[in-house]
Amino acid sequence: MTPSPARKSTCPNCMREFVRETKPGRPRNYCSDVCRNQASRRKKTSGEEAVHDPARHDALLAEVALDLQQAVKDLVNATRNQLPSADLLRHRAVIIRLCEDLEAVSVRRGRDRGESWDTMSGALGLSRDRLRKGWTLDAFDRRMDRRPTPSQRPPATAGLTMLIPQQRPPDTQSSDTAAEADPDAGTSPHQRHPAPLLPPSYWRALFPTSSAAAATPCAASPPTSGSTPPTSPAS
For residue 28, tell me if it sits in a domain: yes
DSSP-assigned letter for residue 5: P
The CA distance from 157 to 73, in Å, is 8
The CA distance from 5 to 78, in Å, is 63
Give SS3 for 20.
strand
Are residues 45 and 123 located together in one domain of the fold?
no
Q: Give me the mean pLDDT over the 46-70 stretch.
A: 77
Are residues 31 and 59 located together in one domain of the fold?
no
Are residues 136 and 97 located together in one domain of the fold?
yes
Are residues 60 and 37 located together in one domain of the fold?
no
Which residues on adjacent β-strands are paired with residue 9?
18
Are residues 77 and 40 located together in one domain of the fold?
no
Q: Is residue 8 scored above 90 in pLDDT?
A: no
Task: For residue 65, name the pLDDT band (cuts at 50, 70, 90).
Answer: very high
The CA distance from 88 to 134, in Å, is 29
Q: Which of 152, 182, 197 is the last residue of a domain?
A: 152
For the stretch 143-186, pLDDT in tens is: 888 887 654 455 544 433 333 344 444 444 444 444 444 444 43
Domains: count for the chain: 2
Are residues 136 and 58 located together in one domain of the fold?
yes
